[in-house]
Amino acid sequence: MPPPNDELVRKRTSADFVFGKVIGEGSFSTVYLAKDVHTSREFAIKVLEKRHIIREKKTEYVTREKKVLQILGSSCKYFVHLYYTFQDTDRLYFVLTYAKNGELLQQINKDGAFSLECTKYYAAELVLALEYLKLKGIVHRDLKPENVLFDENWHILIIDFGSAKILGEDKSSDEESQKRRKYSFVGTAQYVSPEILNDDESTCASDLWALGCIIYQMLTGQMPFRGPSEYLIFQKILKLDYEFPQGFDKVAKDLIEKFLVIAPSSRLGATDQVPYKSIREHEFFREINWDDLGPPPNFSAKCENSSDIVIIPDDLEPGLDEEKASRLHFRMLQPQTPPRKKSEPNRKITDLSQEEIEQRLEQQKSNNSVYHELVEGNLILKQGIVEKRKGIFPRRRMLLLTLGPHLYYVDPVTMTLKGEIPWSDDLKPEAKNFKKFFVHTPNRIYYLEDPDGYALEWCKAIDEVKAYYYPVQQL
Ligand code: ATP
């Protein structure tokens, strides 16, 4: 529902909202549930720290997101609506429709997989949303189940237009941004179309590829292209190397196969004169009434609607400043800040004699043999579970800092080595708060979160190892 006209005219500030809870965090933003103090209406407010945006050179993404949301307006109910934008000295604010019922991804994970009926319904909503995008000349380019949220009535709401492309916009600026995107890919690898990987021009057909992946995932609970590393996933995408499980619905298979086609123009719907007539006419959607999809079907297990439990307390003051932001992070999200571990303040993690190293290696070999193998026999100086964030999709990893130096990360469930943060003189840890820390490397920033709140200890340990292997040259 768009705001009344007089409301549109008046410029908003953060003092018009009570900020109640952090409901999401992206690589570049924190999203708060907030209440308009005048109307009590709830919104999701995406708050971006200007310093962080500038430092990470993401200004273009932010501008793009705002522009696309403005183009989309409020005519299609399947997209979050941008009600207001404003800024203060430190932050930018996007006031958005609040998607009360979480992400499609959470719902798929909760259900294991969707029924055919449920998949058809949400696939149909996605088709209608993509028709609207096509009409507006926009390619989302990062469509995935984390970016499809549910509103209070369980209809989809698509978010995150930072990577979107506006067709017909100045080509040179888009080529520039594509080039940058190639070297700073932050999306989730599994849904990326071959043309984006090949750095060819992306069109609305790139979103049709993602639609094929999402329908596959709704029906199986898994992404079609899986692999232990981004590189191997990309290889699979480029070779169209995926399989359907036994007994997979034949009509759904046919539809997915028509989306997962390497040549964008050969994908179902890509060349429709009336978008997306050929998709609507596919046998998969036979029972769908495109003029009225009707109410959403019931999931076997609807996600706990956490926001129902979270009421914005009445005693909160409107506005957002440094103090309030950290209070919302630390007190409301994690009421108990973990006790700080006592450590020997002056002893460095690298203060080890050769004898100690050998002794500890022996212990490691016998007590921690699986990890000992995975870290190639290097002495583990520090290890702990962290959430490793790629895009908005966190993965649980055992982070292992070893002599060498190495920073390995292992999937603690499958006990497989997932990768290594490459060391160099330029590696730099940065603590954002007690939980979050970044490891900057020349080619990539690793976004990490220690759920126990020892981010500062991680950074200190990494700094000490760096100082040991890469001592600062005194001039
Ligand atoms: P990234 O670049 O890492 O993908 P981002 O900084 O662009 O993320 P978003 O993806 O827009 O941020 O939002 C981060 C999270 O906040 C989302 O995953 C989602 O869970 C939550 N979120 C975003 N918008 C809304 C909304 N309108 N209603 C409810 N939750 C939202």
Active site residue 142: yes
Are 201 and 224 part of one and the same domain?
A: yes
Are 15 and 140 part of one and the same domain?
A: no
Q: Whose CA is nearest to atom 20 of ligand 1?
A: 24
C-beta of 307 in contact with ligand 1 (< 6 A) = no
**Average pLDDT, rounded, for the chain:** 85
CA gap 210, 200 in Å, rounded? 16
CA gap 446, 387 in Å, rounded? 11
pLDDT in tens, 284-332: 999 999 999 999 987 655 554 444 445 666 667 778 877 667 666 654 4
Contact 320, 29 (CB under 8 A): no
**What's the mean pLDDT in 197-203?**
87
Higher pLDDT, 67 or 341: 67
Higher pLDDT, 435 or 83: 83
C-beta of 80 in contact with ligand 1 (< 6 A) = yes
The domain containing residue 26 runs over which residues? 5-98
CA gap 192, 190 in Å, rounded? 6
Q: Tell me the two tokens of residue 27.
A: 């690589």
**What's the mean pLDDT in 246-263?**
97
C-beta of 164 in contact with ligand 1 (< 6 A) = no
Residue 88 lies in a domain: yes
**Cα of 167 from ligand 1 centre, angstroms:** 24
Catalytic residue among 142, 160, 207, 450: 142
Which pLDDT band holds residue 457 (cuts at 50, 70, 90)?
Answer: confident
pLDDT of residue 338: 34
Domain count, the chain: 3
CA gap 407, 426 in Å, rounded? 14
Region of residue 160 (left: phi > 0; alpha: psi -120 to 50; beta: else): left
**Cα of 44 from ligand 1 centre, angstroms:** 9
The answer to which of 90-94, 344-348, 417-421 has the lowest mean pLDDT is 344-348
C-beta of 192 in contact with ligand 1 (< 6 A) = no
Asked if residue 46 belongs to a known ligand binding site, the reply is yes
**Cα of 197 from ligand 1 centre, angstroms:** 24
pLDDT of residue 474: 46
Rg, the chain, Cα only: 24
| Best-predicted range by mean pLDDT (120-129, 368-377, 449-458) | 120-129
Residue 28, pLDDT above cutoff 90:
no
pLDDT of residue 47: 95
Residue 319 lies in a domain: no
pLDDT of residue 96: 97
**Cα of 239 from ligand 1 centre, angstroms:** 31
Are 222 and 116 part of one and the same domain?
A: yes
Of 81, 110, 118, nearest to 98 (Cα)?
81
Give the helix, strand, coil percentages of the chain, each rounded to 5.
35, 20, 45
Are 89 and 211 part of one and the same domain?
A: no
pLDDT of residue 72: 96
pLDDT in tens, 109-155: 888 889 999 999 999 999 999 999 999 999 999 999 999 999 999 99
Kindly tell me the burial class for residue 147, based on how many C-beta atoms sit within 10 Å of its own C-beta (0-12, 13-18, 19 or more): buried
C-beta of 28 in contact with ligand 1 (< 6 A) = yes
Are 129 and 256 part of one and the same domain?
A: yes
Which pLDDT band holds residue 432 (cuts at 50, 70, 90)?
Answer: confident
C-beta of 65 in contact with ligand 1 (< 6 A) = no
Q: Whose CA is nearest to atom 15 of ligand 1?
A: 24
Are 200 and 293 part of one and the same domain?
A: yes
Q: Amino acid identity, residue 180? A: R
Q: Tell me the two tokens of residue 65.
A: 């997101």
* Element containing residue 275 per DSSP (H, E): none
CATH number at residue 226: 1.10.510.10
Q: Whose CA is nearest to atom 8 of ligand 1?
A: 26
pLDDT of residue 412: 80
Are 231 and 279 part of one and the same domain?
A: yes
CATH number at residue 384: 2.30.29.30
pLDDT in tens, 421-430: 999 989 999 9
Residue 25, pLDDT above cutoff 60:
yes
**What's the mean pLDDT in 394-416?**
89
CA angle 281, 284, 288 (to 5 degrees): 70
- CA neighbours closer than 13 Å in the CB half-sphere of residue 141: 30
Are 286 and 393 part of one and the same domain?
A: no
pTM of full prediction above 0.75: no
| Best-predicted range by mean pLDDT (20-29, 206-215, 308-317) | 206-215
| Best-predicted range by mean pLDDT (35-49, 168-182, 311-325, 338-352) | 35-49
Are 43 and 187 part of one and the same domain?
A: no
Q: Tell me the two tokens of residue 355.
A: 């004898």
CA gap 267, 209 in Å, rounded? 8
Residue 75 lies in a domain: yes
Q: Rounded to 5 degrees, what are φ and ψ at 420? A: -145, 140
For residues 257, 260, 266, 271, the Cα torsion angle rounded to the nearest 10 degrees is 100
**What's the mean pLDDT in 350-354?**
85
What is the 8-class DSSP label of residue 4? Answer: P
pLDDT of residue 421: 95
Q: Are strands 156-158 and 148-150 parallel, antiparallel or unpaired?
A: antiparallel
pLDDT of residue 317: 75
Angle between the N-to-C axes of helices 116-136 and 59-72, in degrees from 0 to 180, rounded to the nearest 10? 100
Are 142 and 281 part of one and the same domain?
A: yes
